[in-house]
Amino acid sequence: MSISDRHDRVFKALAAPIRRQILDDLRDQPLTTGMLCAHFPELDRCTVMQHIKVLEEAELIIPERRGRERWNHLNAVPIQQIHERWIGPHAERAAALLTRLKEDVER
């Protein structure tokens, strides 16, 4: 799979508010699938599982089987890669422009 395809999967996964909330829920600690389902009482388990599957395909969640439980771990590496590719260079350029503007105003 190309890096472009991987980025597309990450962007697709991050497009849904529920999937972003799942990632937020996993930020501090891994959670079982049941725990994640309990965070969304308005959704049935099947729907939550579909969202988890999209996150897995984007490699944003790493599942771990422990007996009958499935623990979901956040994998922030793909988000960091997106940041390095898309956000970092643009933010750096914007900061440089603001620095020049500040220097021009101060002169």
6 compared with 72, residue with greater pLDDT: 72
Q: What is the pLDDT of residues 10-19, one digit of tens each?
A: 999 999 999 9
84 falls in which pLDDT band (50, 70, 90)?
confident
In order of their start, the domains of the chain are 3-75 (1.10.10.10)
Q: What is the pLDDT of residues 24-57, one digit of tens each?
A: 999 999 999 999 999 999 999 999 999 999 999 9
User: CA separation (Å) from 102 to 38, 87, 88?
Assistant: 50, 22, 21
Long-range contact set of residues 70-76: C-beta below 8 Å, sequence gap at least 24? 70/32, 70/33, 71/30, 71/31, 71/32, 72/26, 72/30, 72/31, 72/32, 72/33, 72/36, 73/26, 73/30, 74/23, 74/26, 74/27, 74/30
Is the pTM higher than 0.85?
Answer: no
Provide the pLDDT for residue 43.
Answer: 96
User: CA separation (Å) from 65 to 6, 69, 81?
Assistant: 24, 6, 27
Provide the pLDDT for residue 100.
Answer: 86
